[in-house]
Amino acid sequence: MDALLHQILAGLATGGIYASVALALVMIYQATHLVNFAQGEMAMFSTYIAWTLINAGMPYWGAFFLTVAFSFVFGVVIERVVIRPVENSPVLAVVVVFIALLFILNSIIGWIYTYTIKPFPSPFPEQPFFGNKLMSSHEMGAIGVTLVVLLLLYAFFRFTPLGLAMRAAAQNPESSRLVGIRVGWMLALGWGLAAAIGSVAGMMVAPIVFLDPNMMGGVLLYAFAAALVGGIDSPGGAVFGGFLVGVLENVLGAFVIGNELKLAVALVLIIGVLTVRPSGFFGKVHVTRV
């Protein structure tokens, strides 16, 4: 029983990682209806910025918020400079740009910082909360941070005029334009938000998996599964999907199929969801009138 509980909690901890990256994926999907393969590397890039700031002597929270701000700008710039020119190209062209971004960011960081792992500080205490040994304080804290980000996003889209404008621009660009929303900028803002969320994810992930240029490689695949399971256009669904994938992967890996097939769980989920319920648990079912 204890073993099962331990697996579930460890699953929630890794699930929190998947959830935060899945959230960023959902943000970009909402803005552009594309899945950004470079999302993980963008988050990793931001985390290195934070690492550099902290090593230069900046206090953790200062570096944290500066990195989030920087990442926001970075996301907007990428959209304006790299994505915009291929906006109306076929989907494949955009996907190639995403993949190119992935490799470029990965190589640049590898070149500057080398590929050896680096410890990344956690804002949470080193001793476990309430003497519980099954989850570290950082893992619990990271889950909390993911939920707070989700809440902020919800509030932003639900209660602010800018959030409303962004939703409108994504769902119906034509009509939005007619009511005076600058759709292009809304898309760029979406990218900025996604990059900012990604940077938070990166800074929460790095203390667990250690900082290295490839730290997001495995995570991104699970995050895809999470986002698809929850519904690629639903932030709440993505977070739910993240926790679900994390727990399923652990419980199945430990007690049913063995560790060798853990990765397969994610892939089976992706294929299963795409064939049975393409919109995921919480996604909107899109009906197009012919």
Partner 1 sequence: MKRMLVPIAALLSAALASSAALAQKKYDQGASDKEILVGNINPYSGPASAYGTIGRTIAAYFKKVNEEGGVNGRQINMISYDDGYSPPKTVEMARKLVEQDKVLLIFQSLGTPPNSAIHKYMNAKKVPHLFVATGATKWNDPKTFPWTMGWQPNYQTEAKIYAQHILKEKPNAKIAVLYQNDDYGKDYLQGFKDGLGAKAKTMIVKEASYEVSDPTVDSQMAQLQASGADTFFNITIPKFAAQAIRRAWDSGWKPVHYLNNVSGSIGSTLKPAGLDKSVGLITTLYLKDQNDKAWANDPAVVEWTAFMKKYYPDGSLLATENFYGWNVAQTLVQVLKQSGNDLTRANVMKQAASLKGFVVPGLLPGIKINTSASDFAPIESVQLARFNGTDWVRFGEIMGK
The residues of the shown chain that bind partner 1, judged by CB under 8 A, are 2-3, 6-7, 10-11, 13-14, 17, 110, 114-119, 128, 133-134, 136, 205, 208-210, 212-215, 217-219, 221-222, 249-250, 253-254, 259-260, 262-263
Q: 95, exposed or middle or buried, with CB in 10 Å at 0-12, 13-18, 19+?
A: middle
Instruction: Give the C-alpha separation, 253 to 231, whole Å.
Output: 24
Q: How far is the CB of 255 from partner 1 (least distance, A)?
A: 9
Pick between residue 169 and residue 219 the one whose CB is nearest to partner 1.
Answer: 219
Q: What is the dihedral of CA 175, 177, 178, 180, to 10 degrees?
A: 130
CB neighbours of 162 closer than 8 A, spacing ≥ 6? Answer: 156, 189
286: part of which helix (H) or strand (E)? none
Q: How far is the CB of 235 from partner 1 (least distance, A)?
A: 21
Pick between residue 82 and residue 261 the one whose CB is nearest to partner 1.
Answer: 261
Q: How far is the CB of 30 from partner 1 (least distance, A)?
A: 25
Q: How far is the CB of 43 from partner 1 (least distance, A)?
A: 13
Pick between residue 174 and residue 260 the one whose CB is nearest to partner 1.
Answer: 260
Q: Are 198 and 39 in contact (CB under 8 A)?
A: yes
